[in-house]
A and B are shown apart, each in its own frame.
Chain A
Amino acid sequence: MHALLDVSGLQKVYEGSGRRVEAVRDLTFTVDTGELVCLVGPSGCGKTTLLKCMGGLLTPTSGEVLLEGRKVNGPPPGMALVFQEYGRSLFPWMRVGENVELPLKQKNMSRTQRRELVRDALESVGLADAAGAYPWQLSGGMQQRVAIARALAYEPQVLLMDEPFAAVDAQTRADLEDLVRGLWRERGITILFVTHDIDEAVYLGERVIVLSASPTVVQEQLKVDLPDERDQLHTRVAPRFAELRTHVYEQIQAAKRGEAEPGSPARSVT
């Protein structure tokens, strides 16, 4: 039995203008079907590079990414990405409904099927009546909901989210976090959520993968043994939550100083 998503020995080196930057050194981890995994690491640790390699947008220098046992060479049909920059990721020349529907046109699907998926996806992010609006007529949080709806309608096997809530205000952010957890529980989709926010990673994830500073390796993997039912008010003040976030925080501080767990080199050499 394969893991749904299998990243092994991933390395990415950028070469250009006489500079060689090793953004990602050696990453190995797996994500199983139905998991919600958070990747957290210090800023500038190559999270976006990693996500683009997984999404087939960048070719890794070495190592490979397997989705259901098949090697990712280009954007795989079973994967959807939600970007941090919702304002640039949604197309301003299309209405909300058209934005959500566009990726479905690449699949062999009847018009009624497409309409049904779009309606359903927009409904589940609470924007059922916004289909006719343009994205720029909506608030930032609503725009990111549209981007999430677009990913949901695509019915991916795995949903990759690249710091999706880094650009929205704190209250909206809390709502969106609950939305993602809710969608995960209702729909049983597999989510890999990248963030630099430790609290967010612990609050959302069933498992947290802590990355080191660049050149990046996996610093630690941590199971989040919080109850399934989580809410902003109680979960965040639970003693176990505090313990977990302290632990992750310490790991990230250690990663920044370059102290790694034995066996994994984290010193930067460029």
Chain B
Amino acid sequence: MRGANIALGATGLAAFLALGEAVPRLGLVKEAYFPPTSRIAEAFADELSDSTFWTALGDTLTGWALGLAIAAVAGIAFGVLVSVVPYLREATASTIEFLRPIPSVALIPLAVLLYGTELRSVLLLVVYASFWQVLIQVLYGVQDVDPVADETARSYGLGTWARIRHVLWPTALPYVMTGVRLAAAVALILAITAELIVGAPGLGKRIGVMQASQAVPEMYALIVVTGLLGLLINVGARSVERRALAWHQSVRGEVAV
């Protein structure tokens, strides 16, 4: 079953790549703007042997990872704090609902004013966008604490900190994982956007440079790289999730009792 699915998936991908090869060759679209698959693959291989490409990739990953880490830590810490301290959630709810819908890209001018083309510019946008993804999930997760589990913990004399650690955190963890996975995808989008628009060093900036210098196949090759990055990030996040939540009913599967 699994093998058949993999085979089907591979066939579909091969067909898509073949279509990308055939359509420009048949003259259905302009080859100058839509180079055939083989041409993109060639450019891709060239990129891989270019050290400036690897620097750009490193810059993008640095902005992504650092931004995501800051957003995750801040989102988790703030979410738990808001839920644990009485009245804080009610007091912050309206502010959160106001700030959350602001698209991160609307902050690009601010980022440029503050930090120019530095890494911090990317971080500002990445952190702003990812923070909400994590925070919202943490807030939901913390509400999911089972009253019986919490009463059990209280009756055994577990203090606030011990209950956060042993009851609240494991309950919220599945939500936190989802939040971080979503944030990881958003962070990549914002990192590339910031580089492309602001001109901070990274893959986004390199895409812009390729476009400006009419290196169309190279531009496509870089776009493919960003797609692959997104894919790897999602696969990685899911495997971390499966390991950390082996006990959770969404992961553990059927149990013989």
Contacts and interface: CB of A to CB of B under 8 A. Distances in A.
Whether both chains belong to one complex is answered with yes
Interface of A: 52, 55-57, 75, 77, 79-81, 83, 85, 88-89, 91-94, 102-103, 105-106, 134, 136-139, 150, 154
Given A102-B156, A103-B156, A138-B257, A91 B148 contact: no
Contacts of A94: 166
Contacts of A83: 148, 151-152
Nearest to A76: B157
A56 to B, nearest CB: 7
B170 A81 contact: no
Contacts of B255: 136-137
Contacts of B257: 137-139
A93 B170 contact: yes
A89 B148 contact: yes
Interface residues of B, number: 22
Given A85-B148, A92-B248, A139-B257, 10 more contacts: A55-B155, A56-B155, A57-B155, A75-B155, A89-B148, A92-B247, A93-B248, A102-B158, A105-B162, A106-B158
A74 to B, nearest CB: 8
B31 interface: no
B149 interface: yes
B155 A88 contact: no
Contacts of B248: 92-93
Interface string B172-201: 010000000000000000000000000000
B144 to A, nearest CB: 12
- Which 8 pairs between the two chains have the least Cβ-Cβ distance? A103-B156, A88-B148, A93-B170, A81-B155, A89-B152, A93-B247, A75-B155, A106-B157
A191 to B, nearest CB: 15
B169 to A, nearest CB: 9
Majority SS at the chain B contact face: helix
A154 B153 CA distance: 12
Nearest to A135: B247
A103 B247 contact: no
Contacts of A89: 148-149, 152
A270 to B, nearest CB: 24
A103 B170 CA distance: 16
Contacts of B30: none
A70 to B, nearest CB: 15
Given A91-B166, A92-B248, A57 B151 contact: yes
Nearest to B157: A106
Given A88-B146, A137-B255, A75 B154 contact: yes
Contacts of A81: 151-152, 155
B167 interface: yes
Instruction: Name the residue in A57, A83, A91, A150 with the highest tally of chain B Cβ atoms < 10 Å from its Cβ.
Output: A91
